Amino acid sequence: MNPIARERLFGFRHAFDDRVTVVLALTVLILFLLAPLLIFVVTRAANSSSDKRKELWDRYRSWIWLALFILIPILAGAFWTILGVATLSFLCYREYARITGLFRERTISLIVVIGILFITFAALDNWYRLFVALFPLTVALIATGGLIPDQPKGYIQRVGLGVLGFALFGSALGNLGYMANDWNYRPILLLIIFAVEMNDIFAYICGHLFGHRKFVPNTSPNKTVGGALGAIVLTTPLFALGAHFVWFGTALDTPVCLLGLGVIVSVVGQFGDLMLSSIKRDLGLKDTAKLIPGHGGILDRFDSLILVAPAVFHYVNYFVGFAAGQPQRIFSGWGI
């Protein structure tokens, strides 16, 4: 294997070479150290019920695990990062398939799973043409697979659900995995995930502080205009500042482009949240699963990331692109 590719895929010794990575990892660590104190003070001051207190502690404990599951693969190497994203894709698709009933359509589900496996391979291989080709090809395969039971009744539903599932969890989330082909993927991914999660928290806090007018009461009754705007105002500069250091000196490194990217992360992140709210409300469910204590399902936690991944990928791709100078077709090219 090409030494540059091997270094990127497995080179954990360079995990903390970039200062943005160090700053973000330290910030996360400090937040985790401060959070117990904050929870203690807030629950005391608000005289919260024991249920509420338990929920907050559950959430905190779950966050520690989630942070480890996110941080360790990214720091360990691009190989583990891409596998981590693939795992996330599978878990999200599984929850989606179970809540929509698509999991009963075995052929369609199998095709979506195979599609996700191929997307993962294309990302690992750094084979952009395959990566791009996989969306239309998998859609064609799903439309074909829907014919196999020879039952036209329900064809549009099963194929439609399959295509939406692959689009969101295979293709869109797959962009996150493909970003790991950039030589500087660690700060890029950490920054995106950190900003998206902070965006959720900012929206929640701002909503509580200045939220009066309901935003989309039918979709998500707790969302307010104040919360949404507050999140944009806080997330945009945070992300733009991080992005300035990550893409220092590139075509993207202008105030307008960076702020544009920050707005995209914040706005699209909130749309992702609303998208899942709509899916759940359409099905009459509160959570997609009961897997993470205090959070619900994997999909409940990572909903905001799903639409952000392709939006950021193609925005950055327009200005600078990913994977510049990295060897292509690492496994399939036989050393091309």
CB-neighbour burial class of residue 122 (10 A; exposed 0-12, middle 13-18, buried 19+): buried
* Placement of tokens 């996110």 in the chain: 70
Residue 285, interface with other proteins (CB under 8 A)? yes
114 lies in the site for other proteins, by CB under 8 A = no
Please give the residues from 131 up to 190 whose contact with other proteins meets the rule CB under 8 A. 153-154, 156-157
Could you tell me if residue 194 is left (phi over 0), alpha (psi between -120 and 50 degrees) or otherwise beta?
alpha
State the minimum distance, in angstroms, from the CB of residue 299 to other proteins: 12
User: Does 217 participate in binding other proteins (rule CB under 8 A)?
Assistant: no
Cβ within 8 Å of residue 292, ≥6 positions away: 62, 65, 66, 298, 300, 301
Interaction between residue 98 and other proteins (CB under 8 A):
yes
Among the candidate windows 98-106, 182-190, 268-276, 319-327, which touches other proteins by CB under 8 A?
A: 98-106
Binding residue for other proteins (CB under 8 A) from 283, 321, 324, 331?
Answer: 283
Q: Which is nearer to other proteins, 35 or 113 (CB)?
A: 113
The torsion of the CA quartet 280, 285, 286, 292, rounded to 10 degrees, works out to -90
Query: Which CB sits closer to other proteins, 165 or 269?
Result: 165
Calculate ∠ Cα 197-199-201, nearest 5°.
75
Q: Is 229 in the site for other proteins (CB under 8 A)?
A: no
C-alpha distances out from residue 235 to 17, 67, 68, 261, Å = 25, 19, 23, 10
Rounded Cα distance, 263 and 46, in Å: 34
282 contacts other proteins (rule: CB under 8 A): yes
In terms of CB distance, is 38 or 110 closer to other proteins?
110
Site of interaction with other proteins (CB under 8 A): 94, 97-101, 103-104, 106, 109-110, 113, 153-154, 156-157, 282-283, 285, 287, 289-291
